[in-house]
């Protein structure tokens, strides 16, 4: 069910780019926009809104004014009024990544994840090198989390792999992707990410690595030989890897072998 959704959201970018952008703006309209922008900088948002409204009365296709008016409305706590302004701006200016990010963020805070992704995914796809990496991390992490929680692990990995590129020293994203690979029965990639999370100092214990992978002795130096006796296990892993694995290991030593489910590539204890 979620696969078509992911493809639909990704195709949203293609639809938007087909729209034509207005090439010429009346000088009087442009001046009103500039004056309104300066009023916003002075925190005079009510006065700025009057100018933006007047400018759009003069030229309803002045695309950049819709973005400024949306920002102005957000400052005035008019979130619902900002939404159609951002939508119109995106329709008239399909390459505006900032507006797509802003509108997606509004929907995210309204707990409307579907509409948030409708704008986040195109923003991610079209962002250039000058676009904020912090915002890209935010959107990719949100998309990855959404698809992981909805058990669309392949789609989640698309976004988590991007986060790895942005923050290769962050153990959290390797734990996220390891959780996805576990559910996909991709043992080699699961262990690779689990080991990397361990090296980077994430809450991955040696017991889990010995149970599911090749242990941790060869990783201790890279980790810095710190906290190697800890039994802590990140909650994202505890949901799929029993967080009682330490005690199960003790029980195996006392009561004999544990049943293994051979129907999965990943060992289950």
Summarised one tens digit per residue, pLDDT across range 45-77 is: 999 999 999 999 999 999 999 999 999 999 999
Round to whole Å and give the CA distance between 22 and 93: 8
Residue % of the chain over a pLDDT of 90: 69
Round to whole Å and give the CA distance between 72 and 78: 9
Report CA torsion sign: 159, 162, 166, 169. positive
Name which of 7-11, 138-142, 192-196, 262-266 the model is least confident about.
Answer: 262-266
Answer CATH for 19-93 from 3.40.47.10, 1.25.40.10, 1.10.510.10, 1.10.10.60: 1.25.40.10
Tell how far CA 67 is from the center of its chain: 23
User: Which segments of the chain belong to CATH 1.25.40.10?
Assistant: 19-93
Q: Answer yes or no: are the C-beta atoms of 197 and 204 closer than 8 Å.
A: yes
Round to whole Å and give the CA distance between 189 and 195: 10
Q: Answer yes or no: are the C-beta atoms of 42 and 73 closer than 8 Å.
A: no
Q: Concatenated DSSP letters for 154-187?
A: HHHHHHHHHHHHH-TT-HHHHHHHHHHHHHTT-H
Residues whose CB is less than 8 angstroms from the CB of residue 36 and which lie 6 or more positions away in sequence, other chains included: 48, 49, 51, 52, 55, 65, 68, 69, 72
Residues whose CB is less than 8 angstroms from the CB of residue 259 and which lie 6 or more positions away in sequence, other chains included: none
Summarised one tens digit per residue, pLDDT across range 192-215 is: 999 999 999 999 988 889 989 999
For residue 183, the model assigns a pLDDT of 95
Instruction: Give me the mean pLDDT over the 210-230 stretch.
Output: 84
pLDDT bucket at 242, cuts 50 / 70 / 90: low
Round to whole Å and give the CA distance between 251 and 187: 25
Largest pairwise CA distance in the chain: 85
Q: What is the pTM (predicted TM-score) of this model?
A: 0.80
For residue 12, the model assigns a pLDDT of 44
From the list 247, 225, 222, 245, the residue with the least C-alpha distance to 234 is 245
Summarised one tens digit per residue, pLDDT across range 129-173 is: 999 999 999 999 999 999 999 999 999 999 999 999 999 999 999
234 C-beta neighbours (distance < 10 Å), count:
21
pLDDT bucket at 239, cuts 50 / 70 / 90: confident
For residue 113, the model assigns a pLDDT of 98
For residue 233, the model assigns a pLDDT of 87
From the list 195, 140, 199, 184, the residue with the least C-alpha distance to 165 is 140
């Amino acid at each position: 069910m979620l696969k078509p959704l992911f493809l639909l959201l990704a195709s949203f970018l293609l639809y938007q780019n087909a729209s034509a952008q207005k090439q010429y703006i009346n000088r009087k309209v442009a001046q009103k926009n500039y004056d309104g922008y300066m009023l916003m900088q002075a925190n005079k948002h009510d006065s700025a809104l009057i100018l933006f409204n007047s400018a759009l009365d003069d030229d309803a296709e002045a695309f950049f004014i819709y973005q400024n008016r949306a920002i102005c409305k957000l400052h005035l706590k008019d979130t619902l009024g900002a939404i159609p302004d951002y939508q119109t701006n995106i329709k008239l200016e399909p390459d505006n990544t900032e507006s797509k990010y802003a509108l997606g963020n509004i929907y995210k805070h309204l707990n409307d994840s579907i509409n948030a992704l409708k704008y986040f995914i195109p923003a991610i796809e079209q962002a250039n090198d000058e676009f904020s990496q912090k915002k890209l991390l935010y959107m990719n992490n949100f998309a990855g989390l959404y698809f992981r929680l909805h058990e669309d692990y392949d789609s989640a990995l698309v976004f988590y792999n991007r986060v790895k590129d942005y923050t290769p020293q962050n153990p959290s994203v390797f734990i996220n992707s390891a959780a996805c690979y576990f559910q996909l029965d991709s043992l080699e990639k699961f262990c690779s990410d689990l080991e990397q999370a361990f090296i980077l100092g994430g809450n991955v214990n040696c017991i889990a690595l010995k149970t599911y992978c090749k242990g941790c002795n060869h990783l201790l130096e890279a980790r810095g030989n710190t906290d190697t006796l800890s039994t802590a296990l990140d909650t994202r892993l505890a949901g799929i890897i029993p967080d009682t694995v330490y005690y199960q290991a003790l029980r195996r030593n006392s009561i004999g072998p544990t049943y293994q489910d051979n129907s999965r590539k990943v060992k289950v204890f």
